[in-house]
Structure 1
Amino acid sequence: MRTARTGLSAGQRLVLWVLALVSCVVLSARADDAPQLLLAKTIGADTDVTRYLVSEKLDGIRAFWDGRTLRTRRGGALNAPAWFVEKFPARSLDGELWAGRGRFERLTGVVRKEKPVDAEWREVRYMIFELPEAPGTFRERARAMRRIVDEAAVPWLRAVEQSEVGSRKELDQRLARVVHAGGEGLMLHRADAPYATGRSDDLLKMKSLQDAEAIVIGHLPGKGKYKEMLGALRVRTDDGVEFNLGSGLSDALRRNPPPIGTVVTFRYRDLTDRGIPRFASYHRIRDNDNY
Structure 2
Amino acid sequence: MPVGGRGSTGGCPAHAALPLLLAQEAEASIDPAGWLVSEKLDGVRAAWDGRQLRFRSGRVVAAPAWFLAQLPRTPLDGELWLDRGRFDEVSSLVRRDEPDDTGWRELRYMLFELPGAPGSFAERARVLRQIADAAAVPGLQAVPQHAVRDRAALRRWLDLVLEEGGEGLMLHRADAPYLVGRSPALLKLKPTQDAEATVLAHLPGRGRHAGRLGALRVRGDDGVVFDLGTGFTDAEREQPPSRGSRVTFAYRGRTPQGVPRFASFVRRRPED
User: Same fold by TM (over 0.5)?
Assistant: yes
State the 1:205 CA deviation.
Answer: 1.0
1:60 counterpart = 2:43 = yes
1:99 counterpart = 2:82 = yes
Partner secondary structure for residue 276 of structure 1:
coil
Aligned residue among 33, 36, 51 for 1:50 = 33
Whole-angstrom CA distance in 1 between matches of 2:74 and 2:205 = 51
Equivalent in the alignment of 1:3: none
1:259 counterpart = 2:228 = no
State the 1:87 CA deviation.
Answer: 2.2
Alpha-carbon displacement from aligned partner over 1:155-195 (angstroms, at most 9, x marks no partner) = 11000001011112221221111111111111111111222
Please list, as runs of the form range in 1=range in 2, the aligned pairs for 1:104-253 lying within 5 A after superposition. 104-253=87-236
State the AA in 1 paired with 2:140: L
State the AA in 2 paired with 1:66: D
Larger radius of gyration: 1
Alpha-carbon displacement from aligned partner over 1:234-254 (angstroms, at most 9, x marks no partner) = 222223322221111111121
State the 1:288 CA deviation.
Answer: 4.5
Alpha-carbon displacement from aligned partner over 1:200-219 (angstroms, at most 9, x marks no partner) = 22211111101112222222
* TM-score normalised according to structure 1 size: 0.84
Paired residue total: 260
State the AA in 1 paired with 2:250: R
Equivalent in the alignment of 2:8: none
Instruction: Please report the RMSD computed on the Cα atoms of aligned residues, expressed in angstroms.
Output: 1.8
Which 4+ residue blocks in structure 1 deviate beyond 3 angstroms? 44-48
Please list, as runs of the form range in 1=range in 2, the aligned pairs for 1:19-98 lying within 5 A after superposition. 33-44=16-27, 47-98=30-81
State the 1:105 CA deviation.
Answer: 0.9
Alpha-carbon displacement from aligned partner over 1:35-59 (angstroms, at most 9, x marks no partner) = 3222211123664421000000111
Contact 2:224 2:258 in 1 (8 A): yes
Whole-angstrom CA distance in 2 between matches of 1:204 and 1:44 = 9
Gaps of 5+ in 2: 1-12
State the 1:198 CA deviation.
Answer: 2.0
Residues 56/140 of structure 1: CA separation in 2 closer, same or farther (3 Å cut): same
State the 1:106 CA deviation.
Answer: 0.7
Identity within the alignment, %: 57
1:286 counterpart = 2:266 = no
State the 1:276 CA deviation.
Answer: 1.9
* TM-score normalised according to structure 2 size: 0.90
State the 1:230 CA deviation.
Answer: 1.6
Whole-angstrom CA distance in 2 between matches of 1:30 and 1:86 = 21
Contact 2:59 2:271 in 1 (8 A): no
Whole-angstrom CA distance in 2 between matches of 1:263 and 1:163 = 32
Higher helix content, 1 or 2: 1
